[in-house]
Chain A
Amino acid sequence: MAQYYPGTSQVADNRRKFLNPDKKLEKLREISDEDVVKVLGHRAPGEEYKSVHPPLDEMDEPDDIVRELVEPIDGAKAGDRIRYIQFTDSMYFAPAHPFIRSRAYLNRYRGVDAGTLSGRQIVEARERDLEKLSKELLETEFFDPARSGIRGKTVHGHSLRLDEDGMMFDMLRRQVLNKSTGKVESVKDQIGRELDEPVVLGEPLDEKTLRNKTTIYRVDGEAYKDDKDAVEVLHHIHVSRSQGGFCPE
Chain B
Amino acid sequence: MANKKFIKALNKKFKEAPEDKTTTYYTYGGWTQSERKTEFVNAGKEVAKKRGIPQYSPDVGTPLGQRALMPYQASSTDTYVEGDDFHFVNNAAIQQMWDDIRRTVIVGLNTAHNVIEKRLGMEVTPETIMEYLETVNHAMPGAAVVQEHMVETHPSLVADSYVKIFTGDDELADEIDKSFVLDINKEFPADQAKALKAEVGDKVWQIVRIPTIVSRVCDGGTTSRWSAMQIGMSMISAYNQCAGEGATGDFAYASKHAEVIHMGSYLPVRRARAENEPGGVAFGFLADMSQATRTDPDDPVKSSLEVVAMGAALYDQIWLGSYMSGGVGFTQYATAAYTDNVLDDFSYYGKEYVEDKFGLCKAPNNMDTVLDVGSEVAFYGLEQYEEYPALLETQFGGSQRASVVSAAAGIATAFATGNAQTGLSAWYLAMYLHKEQHARLGFYGYDLQDQCGASNVFSIRADEGLPLEMRGPNYPNYAMNVGHQGEYAGIAQSAHSARGDAFAFNPLVKISFADKNLSFDFSKVRAEFAKGALREFQPDGERSLIIPAK
Contacts and interface: CB of A to CB of B under 8 A. Distances in A.
Do A and B belong to a common assembly? yes
B444 to A, nearest CB: 7
Contacts of B444: 115-117
Interface stretch (B203-211, B303-311, B389-397): B389-397
B436 A238 contact: no
A99 B440 contact: yes
Given A234-B436, A238-B429, A242-B367, A161 B21 contact: yes
Contacts of B371: 235, 238-239
Nearest to A167: B25
A10 B398 CA distance: 24
Given A119-B398, A217-B437, A230-B436, A160 B393 contact: yes
B381 to A, nearest CB: 12
A244 B436 CA distance: 21
A164 B26 contact: no
B22 A164 contact: yes
**Residue of A154, A161, A224, A230 with highest tally of chain B CB at under 10 A:** A161
B432 A117 contact: no
Interface in A108-135: 115-119
A128 to B, nearest CB: 27
Interface string A209-249: 00000011111100111000011001101110111111100
B454 A241 contact: yes
B348 interface: no
Contact of A91 (B390, B438, B455): B438
Interface stretch (B50-58, B61-69, B133-141, B317-325): B61-69
Contact of B458 (A116, A119, A159, A242): A242
A92 interface: yes
Contacts of A205: none
B440 A238 contact: no
B439 A99 contact: yes
Interface in B27-75: 62-63, 66-67
A91 B50 CA distance: 47
A230 B439 CA distance: 13
B396 A159 contact: yes
B396 A156 contact: yes
Interface stretch (A41-49, A78-86, A168-176, A196-204): A168-176
Given A215-B439, A245-B454, A245-B455, A118 B367 contact: no
A142 to B, nearest CB: 13
A38 interface: no
B23 interface: yes
A161 B440 CA distance: 17
B171 interface: no
Given A245-B455, A246-B459, A247-B460, A160 B396 contact: yes
A154 B64 CA distance: 11
A247 B458 CA distance: 9
Contacts of B441: 99, 118
A117 B397 CA distance: 10
A180 to B, nearest CB: 19
Contact of B432 (A92, A163, A173, A238): A238
Contact of B439 (A216, A231, A235, A246): A216
**Residue of A119, A215, A245 with highest tally of chain B CB at under 10 A:** A245
A31 interface: no
A31 B432 CA distance: 36
**Residue of B16, B25, B63, B432 with highest tally of chain A CB at under 10 A:** B25
B152 interface: no
A219 B21 CA distance: 14
A146 to B, nearest CB: 12
Contacts of A163: 22-25
A149 interface: no
A213 to B, nearest CB: 13
Contact of A244 (B67, B375, B442, B455): B455
B367 A224 contact: no
Contacts of A159: 385, 392-393, 395-398, 401
A218 B24 CA distance: 23
Interface string B423-434: 001001100110
Nearest to A7: B436
A241 B454 CA distance: 6
B458 A245 contact: yes
A40 interface: no
B375 A169 contact: no
A100 interface: yes
Contacts of B356: none
A222 B458 CA distance: 34
Contacts of B382: 224
Given A117-B398, A118-B441, A118-B443, A161 B455 contact: no
Contacts of A243: 458
B438 A217 contact: yes
Contacts of A239: 367, 371
Given A117-B443, A161-B389, A171-B63, A242 B433 contact: no
Given A220-B386, A234-B433, A92 B21 contact: yes
Contacts of B375: 225, 231, 235
Given A154-B62, A159-B398, 20 more contacts: A97-B440, A118-B399, A118-B401, A118-B443, A156-B396, A159-B396, A160-B67, A161-B22, A162-B22, A162-B23, A166-B22, A169-B67, A171-B66, A217-B438, A225-B379, A230-B436, A231-B375, A242-B425, A242-B458, A246-B459
10 contacts: A99-B435, A100-B439, A118-B442, A159-B398, A162-B22, A163-B25, A166-B22, A218-B386, A224-B382, A242-B455
8 A-B pairs closest in CB distance = A118-B398, A245-B455, A97-B439, A224-B437, A246-B458, A241-B454, A171-B66, A118-B440
Interface of B: 16, 20-26, 62-63, 66-67, 367, 370-371, 375, 379, 382-383, 385-387, 389-390, 392-393, 395-399, 401-402, 425, 428-429, 432-433, 435-444, 447, 452, 454-460, 464
